[in-house]
Amino acid sequence: MTTLTLEKEPLAKEIKMTNDNLVVDLIDGRSLTVPLSWYPRLLHASQEERQNWQLLGEGYAIEWIDLDEHIGVEGLLAGRQSGESNSSFQRWLKSRIN
């Protein structure tokens, strides 16, 4: 088992979305690109919902209020995908139809 040890907390300064990816620019100059398929709520969101985000704190996480989605930058660096269960996601998806 490996443990992620960070010199300092990674912080986001800006995000961008393509049809397939979430791109997070960090304050230290790095950019992270992860597939939207890792985060089904983002994958199924409208462009308008995807663009309605805010940084939490000084950039330790990203929040999409309309989607009830929160993604921590440290988790992105560690390669963590959404931990939401399929049943929870299906309930959320069904609530969007009604």
The answer to whether 27 and 13 are in contact (CB under 8 A) is: yes
- Which pLDDT does position 53 carry in this prediction? 97
Expressed as residue numbers, the domain containing 43 is: 12-97
Predicted confidence at residue 8, as pLDDT, reads 76
Query: Residue 89 maps to which CATH number?
Result: 3.30.2020.40
Give the Cα separation of 61 and 76 in Å (integer). Answer: 10
pLDDT digits (tens, 9 = 90+) for 16-38: 999 999 999 999 999 999 999 99
Instruction: Tell me: pLDDT of 4 over 80.
Output: no
Confirm whether 93 is domain-assigned.
Answer: yes
- Give a yes or no: residue 4 inside a domain: no
- Give a yes or no: residue 76 inside a domain: yes
DSSP characters for 30-53?
Answer: -EEEEEGGGSHHHHTS-HHHHH--
Q: What's the pLDDT at 37?
A: 96
pLDDT for residue 16: 96
Domain total in the chain: 1
Is the Cβ–Cβ distance between 25 and 31 less than 8 Å?
A: yes
Model confidence band, residue 55 (pLDDT cutoffs 50, 70, 90): very high
